């Protein structure tokens, strides 16, 4: 099972990335948990300077931009 984390403090782009990540998981029918990480101390552990950020299984896949559902599907499928 994949662990997907969306890092962000609650800005509109962070919320949109969360929704897109959930939609991508649903479309791919992949077993995954999608979790929101909004505590600054937790976000800093990933060495991310800009949010929103997408983390898959502990690896930062994107930071500082809003990925589309298609972008996230490609990351999860690859």
Of these residues, 4, 6, 14, 55, which one is catalytic? 14
Q: State the catalytic residue, choosing from 2, 9, 10, 11.
A: 11
| Contacts (Cβ under 8 Å, ≥6 apart) of 69 | 20, 23, 24, 27
14 part of the active site: yes
Is 58 considered catalytic here?
A: no
Give the pairing type, strands 53-56 and 32-37.
unpaired
Q: Catalytic site residues?
A: 11, 14
């Amino acid at each position: 099972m994949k662990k997907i984390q969306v890092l962000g403090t609650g800005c509109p782009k962070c919320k949109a990335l969360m929704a897109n990540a959930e939609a991508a998981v649903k479309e791919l029918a992949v077993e995954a948990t999608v979790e929101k990480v909004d505590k600054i101390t937790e976000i800093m552990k990933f060495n991310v300077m800009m949010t929103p950020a997408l983390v898959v299984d502990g690896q930062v896949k994107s930071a500082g931009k809003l990925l589309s559902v298609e972008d996230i599907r490609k990351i999860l499928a690859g």
